[in-house]
Amino acid sequence: MITDRSRAGEAIETVIDYLVPTSRINRRFWAPGREVNTGVYAPYPVTIRNARLAPEPFTLDTHGFAIARHRSAVRDFRDAAAVRDYPDEVAAVAKALTGCDLVLPMGGQLRSPIISGASVQPPAAEAHVDFNTATAHRAARALYDRAVPGGDYSRFICFSLWRTFSPPPQDWPLALCDCRSVGDEDAVANVKVDVDEIPEGDALYAPIEGEEAMSAATIFHHNPAHRWWYFPDMTADEVIFIKFHDSDHGRAWRAPHTAFHDSTRPDAVTRESYEFRAIAYFR
């Protein structure tokens, strides 16, 4: 339920960046403290609805994302030492929300526009999901085989547990798209290329050996059918579970998401957030 202090309305009319139909070479170069996309994006008008005012709660199997209460023992997510035990908290939340048998950590990411450093990235700027199907299956198998040699699983969920630790209201909230409103025809692979320094000019588009086997996210073309939601006034004791990929496609199996600028709140503060990626397994 929306908090008493919130002055957020029922919906925000804004824009979200989507891949344009003519974009052909789609890569995301990732260097310490900086990201560059070769894909061509453009802002498209969208309505982002207040999820706290929705007539029914959001669930993982219906929408692909859900909000939950979780008070973390971490007092400062900017401190690398302080988040050392955070994977255990993530596992506990994931088991409670999904009923999975095992959670294996992948790693955390601090996002802040006011902190610089190799381990810090800015808020994401376009509609995306962090894995595509092939990447999700490769990652799930490789991680499981290292942890449980010779074992097997019947289902997995690649996910992120996302939280903001800056006080509400935040200037760049997280928008989430209902999985049911997204078609396969809307999705395009975006290959992730890890580099020490971002290439320039034509080097961004030069052939890369083995690119077809590299990890890739999913980016999206605009579709007016997409239904976007956000949770305004998030507190430090709330988390959002986001499905990157559920191997059971009979359920909501992914949730496109992105940051967006909330210009309706003149009292908004700079959003800082921490997300932790992991994979939940069902045996």
Whether 23 is in a domain gets the answer no
Domain holding 134, by residue range, is 34-282
Which CATH number does the domain housing residue 192 bear? 2.60.120
Structure confidence at residue 1 (pLDDT) = 37
Cβ atoms within 10 Å of 5's Cβ, excluding its own: 9
Question: pTM value?
Answer: 0.93
Structure confidence at residue 102 (pLDDT) = 98
Whether 213 is in a domain gets the answer yes
Structure confidence at residue 122 (pLDDT) = 82
In sign, the C-alpha dihedral spanning 187, 278, 94, 276 is negative
Structural domain tally of the chain?
1
- Express each pLDDT in 99-137 by its tens digit: 999 999 999 999 998 887 767 888 888 999 999 999 999
Structure confidence at residue 134 (pLDDT) = 96
Whether 108 is in a domain gets the answer yes
Structure confidence at residue 194 (pLDDT) = 93
> Three-class SS of residue 140?
helix
pLDDT at 190 > cutoff 60: yes
Gyration radius (Cα) of the chain, Å: 18
Burial 37-50 (b: 16+ CB within 10 A, else e): bbbebeebebebbb
Whether 64 is in a domain gets the answer yes
pLDDT at 27 > cutoff 60: yes
Cα–Cα distance between 193 and 36 in angstroms, integer?
10
Whether 27 is in a domain gets the answer no
pLDDT at 4 > cutoff 80: no
Structure confidence at residue 118 (pLDDT) = 66
Whether 111 is in a domain gets the answer yes
Q: Which band of pLDDT confidence, cut at 50, 70 and 90, is reported for residue 6? A: low
Whether 168 is in a domain gets the answer yes
Greater confidence (32 vs 218) lies with: 218
Q: What percent of the chain has pLDDT over 70?
A: 98
pLDDT at 2 > cutoff 70: no
Structure confidence at residue 3 (pLDDT) = 42
pLDDT at 268 > cutoff 70: yes
Average pLDDT, the chain: 94
Structure confidence at residue 58 (pLDDT) = 98
Cα–Cα distance between 61 and 125 in angstroms, integer?
26
Residue 38 token pair: 């070769």
- Express each pLDDT in 137-172 by its tens digit: 999 999 999 999 999 999 999 999 999 999 999 999
Structure confidence at residue 33 (pLDDT) = 76
pLDDT at 85 > cutoff 80: yes
**Mean predicted confidence (pLDDT) in 54-83:** 97
Cα–Cα distance between 195 and 207 in angstroms, integer?
15
Judge residue 243's burial from the number of C-beta atoms within 10 Å of its C-beta, 0-12 exposed, 13-18 middle, 19 or more buried. Answer: buried
CA separation (Å) from 161 to 127, 223, 241? 17, 26, 5
**Mean predicted confidence (pLDDT) in 182-197:** 96
Whether 224 is in a domain gets the answer yes
